[in-house]
Structure 1
Amino acid sequence: MHTIDIHGTSESDVLGVWYMFSPKQAAASEFSDNPAVRALGPAYAQGSKACFKADLENVCIENTQAAIVIANICLAEGDSRAESLYYALAIRMAQMLDLASGNEDDDGITREVKRRVWWTCFIVDIWSSGGGSLARQLQVGEHQPRLPLEEIAFLELRPGERDFNDTAWKTGIWSHMVRMIELYKEIQDLLRYLVATTQWDEDFIENTVHGLAVRLLAFEERLGPELTFSAENVARHARRGTGRLFTGFHLGYQYYCMVLFYQYLDKSRPSTRNGAAYADRCKLHARRFCDILRTARQSPKAEALHNINAHITIVSSSVLLHNYMFGDASELADTQARLESNLEFMVKLRRYWPSVELVA
C-alpha cells in the first residue's frame, strides 16, 4: 500500500484522509485475533460514518474511497440499503471528479489510484445494483480510464515518478477482473430478464447462455499459466502479496459460471438442447469453487475472507445439495465432504462478519 503525504493539504482534505482510515480501522478490526480489538469495530464504524456525513459536500477522492469502505462495512452489518446508498455516493463523486480522464500533471501513483477508484466504482455499481434490483449509475458507453496496472508494478511506483505509458503498461489480476465483471454484467441482464418475463423465449435464452458460456471459457483459456488456478500459483501469489486477490478472482469466475447455468438445475424446467450439459457445468463449477476455497485455506496469505464469499458459498452449497439429493449415488460421499468443507468455511467467516448469519 502506498503512503499518503498530507503536508500542504487543506484542513478539510486532512479530515478526509483521517476518516478514510477510520472506516479501514473498523473493517480491519474484524480480523483481529484479539476479542477486545474486534469489539472496537462498531465504534470505529459509527465514528467514520459521522465524520463522513459531517464533510459530505467535500467532493474529493478521499471521500470517494471512504464511501466505498463504509459501504463494505454496511454490507458486513447486513444493511443493504445503506450499502447501496454509500456506493451511490462514491460513484457520483467519481463522476464529478472525472476520475476516468485523469490529469497529466499527476504522478504515476496518483493517476493509478484514480483509475483503481473508478474501476472499483464500476465493479460495485454492477454488484450492488444487481443485488438491489436497481438501475446502474455508470452507463454503457461512458468514458472509461485505462485498465489497472499490474499489481507489483503499481506497488513499486515511487512518489513523483511518471505514469507508465501504454507501451510499458502490463496487465494484472485487476485488469482481468474488470474484463470478467463485464461478462457478469451480461449474465446479470439475462437473470433480470428471467425474473421479469412471464413467457420465456427459450431460443433467446439458449442462444444467450451459449454465447456467454463460450466467452467465459475463452476468457479462462486466455489467462496463461501464471494466472491459472493451481496450488503452486496460490503459493506464488501469497509470497508476492497478491494471494487473496488471486483467490478472490478465481472464486468470482466460478460464481459467474454457476449463476449462468443455475436455472438448468430445475427439474421442472422445459427440456432444452443443452440443458443437461449446462446443469452438469453448474455442478462442475460448484465443485471447483469448493476446491479453491479448500486450497486457499491452506495459506493464510491467500485465504478468501471477503464478506461477499458468504453469499457465493451459499450458492455453491445449494448446487452441491441439489446433487446430493438428486445426483448419482456414487457421488454422495464426495458431495457430503464438500458440503462439510463449505460449512466449515462459513463458520470461520461468521467470526469476522456479522452478516453471515443473515445468509446462512
Structure 2
Amino acid sequence: MAQMLDLVSGNEVDDGITKEIKRRIWWTCFIVDVWSSGGGSLARQLQVGENQPRLPLEEITFLELQPGEKDIPDISWKAGIWSHMVGMIELYKEIQDLLRYLVATTQWDEEFIENTVHGLAARLLAFEGRLGPELVFSAENIARHARRGTGRLFTGFHLGYQYYYMVLFYQYLDKSRPSTRNGAAYAEQCKLHARRFCDILRIVREWPEAEALHNINAHITIVSSSVLLHNYMFGDVSELADTQARLESNLEYMVKLQRYWPSVELMINRLNVFLRSCVRSGSNNTHRFDKWMVKFSQE
C-alpha cells in the first residue's frame, strides 16, 4: 500500500505536517517490513536507496508544526528517536541475514560467522556511542521523555537495542556448538543484554508515561526470559536468586501487558511450554540453535 500510494514522491501542495506524516508512515512500514520478514522468513518489500524519503524529523519539532506551515528545510532537519530507530533497523537487517545463513547452511564457516558477529557487535556499540546525551538510557532521560510525551518511544528504542544484541549472540547459548575464539564471551554478552532488557522494563514502571505497552515487547520479553532461563539452568549457583527474580519480573510484566493485548496469553503459554521442556529435559542442549530456535527468537 505504501508503494501504491507513492509516499516517497509526496505532493507539492502538501504542507509540512502532511509531508512529514507521509514520511513517518513510509518508515514505519519499512520497520514493520523488516520485523515481519524475519519471523516469517519472507522477502523484504521496501528497500532504502536513492528514492527513499527523508528520515523522520525530531519528535518535538514535528509536534510543534502548525497546519499550513511549509515543510522544514533539510538544513534545519534534526535527528530524533525515530530516525535513530531506522539506523538501528538497518543493523538488524544484517543480523537477520546472518541468522538466515546459519539455518540455510549445513556446514558453518566459523571464521566467517565470528568475523560477522564481531563486526555487527562493534557497529551496534558504535551506534550507541553516537547517540546524544539526551538519548542515552538513564533515569533522568526517562523522566524527561515522559514529560515530553516521548517516553514510550524512548523506552521502545532501548528495548529494541537490547533485543538486537540478544539475537546476534543467541547462537552461542547452544552448548553443542563448536568452541570458538569468542564463543564463551558472546554467550555472556547475550545474558548481559537479557538482564539489561529486564532492568529497563523494571525501571520504566515508575513512569506510567514511559512504560512499555506495545504488543511487540511481549515477544522480546519471551526471548529475554529464554536467555535468563539458560543462565538459571547452567549459570553459577550464586546467580540463581537474581535470575529467578528477573524471570518472575518478566512474567509479571507480560501478565500486565495481557490486559491491553489478549493475544499475549498465547505468548505466555508458549514461554511456559518452553520453560517446562527445558526444566524437564535431561540434556544440556536445551537451546540448540536450529530453524525452530531462529523462528522462536524472531517471531
| Deviation sequence 1:5-58 (CA, Å, 0-9, x none) | xxxxxxxxxxxxxxxxxxxxxxxxxxxxxxxxxxxxxxxxxxxxxxxxxxxxxx
State the match for 1:359 in structure 2: 267
Does residue 1:116 correspond to 2:24, yes or no? yes
Which position in structure 1 is the counterpart of 2:296?
A: none
Query: Of 134, 137, 140, which residue of structure 2 is paired with 1:229?
Result: 137
Give the Å deviation of 1:101.
2.2
1:133-148 pair list within 5 angstroms: 133-139=41-47, 141=49, 143-148=51-56
Separation (CA, whole Å) in 1 of partners of 2:106 and 2:172? 17
2:112 aligned partner: 204
Q: Distance in 2 between matches of 1:238 and 1:141?
A: 34
1:98 aligns with 2:2: no
Q: What amino acid does structure 1 have at the position aligned with 2:125?
A: L
1:282 and 2:190 equivalent?
Answer: yes
Q: Does 1:308 align with 2:216?
A: yes
Q: 1:298 aligned to 2:221?
A: no
1:261, distance to aligned residue in structure 2 (A): 0.3
Structure 1 residue 142: Cα displacement: 6.2
Q: Give the letter aligned to residue 117 of structure 2.
A: V
TM-score, normalised by the number of residues in structure 2 = 0.88
1:311-326 correspondence to structure 2 within 5 Å:
311-326=219-234
Residue 344 of structure 1 aligns with which residue? Answer: 252
Aligned match of 1:132: 40
* CA–CA separation in structure 2 for the residues paired with 1:142 and 1:94: 17
Which residue of 2 is the match for residue 4 of structure 1? none
1:57-76 maps to which residues of 2 (within 5 A)?
A: none
CA distance in 2, matches of 1:139, 1:333: 46
Tell me how far apart the structure 1 counterparts of residues 223 and 120 of structure 2 sit (CA, whole Å): 19
Q: Which amino acid aligns with 1:317?
A: S
Number of matched residues? 268
Secondary structure of the residue aligned to 1:143 is coil
Distance 1:164 1:150 in 2: 11
CA distance in 2, matches of 1:141, 1:187: 19
- Kindly state the Cα deviation for residue 195 of structure 1 after the two structures are TM-superposed: 1.2
Displacement over 6 Å in runs of 4+: none
Q: Which residue of 2 aligns with 1:153?
A: 61
Distance 2:52 2:77 in 1: 16
Residue 182 of structure 1 pairs with residue 90 of structure 2: yes
One-letter amino acid of the structure 1 residue matched with residue 246 of structure 2: R
User: RMSD of the alignment, in Å?
Assistant: 1.0
Aligned counterpart for 2:127 among listed residues 194, 198, 219:
219
Following TM superposition, by how much is the alpha carbon of 1:102 offset from its aligned partner in structure 2, in angstroms?
A: 2.1
The correspondence for 1:241, drawn from 121, 142, 149, is 149
Offset of 1:189 from its aligned partner? 0.8
Give 1:245-264 correspondences, 5 Å limit. 245-264=153-172
Deviation at 1:197, TM superposition (A): 1.2
Cα separation, 2, equivalents of 1:174 and 1:141: 18
Offset at 1:105? 2.5
Structure 1 residue 265 corresponds to structure 2 residue 173: yes
The whole-number CA distance in structure 2 between the counterparts of 1:331 and 1:192 is: 33
Q: Which runs of 5+ in 1 are unaligned?
A: 1-92
Amino acid at match of 1:276: A
Amino acid at match of 1:233: N
TM-score by length of 1: 0.73
Cα distance in 2 between the residues matched to 1:134 and 1:287 = 30
Letter in 2 for 1:228: V
Asked which structure has the greater RCO (Cα within 8 Å, sep 6+), the reply is 2
Residue type at the aligned position of 2:80: G
Q: Deviations over 1:42-87 (max 9, x none)?
A: xxxxxxxxxxxxxxxxxxxxxxxxxxxxxxxxxxxxxxxxxxxxxx
Mapped to 1, the partners of 2:15 and 2:216 lie a distance apart of: 33
* Counterparts in 2 of 1:139 and 1:150: CA distance versus 1, 3 Å: closer
Aligned AA (1:271): S
Per the TM alignment, residue 255 of structure 1 is displaced from its structure 2 partner at its CA by 0.3
SS for the counterpart of 1:261 is helix
Q: What is the CA–CA distance in structure 1 between the aligned matches of 2:139 and 2:243, rounded to whole Å?
A: 21
Match of 2:235 in 1: 327
How many percent identity over aligned positions? 87
* 1:107 aligned residue (2, 7, 15): 15
Deviation sequence 1:270-300 (CA, Å, 0-9, x none): 0111111111110110010001000111111
Deviations 1:301-338 (A, max 9, x none): 00101101111000000111100111111111111111
Distance 1:142 1:161 in 2: 26
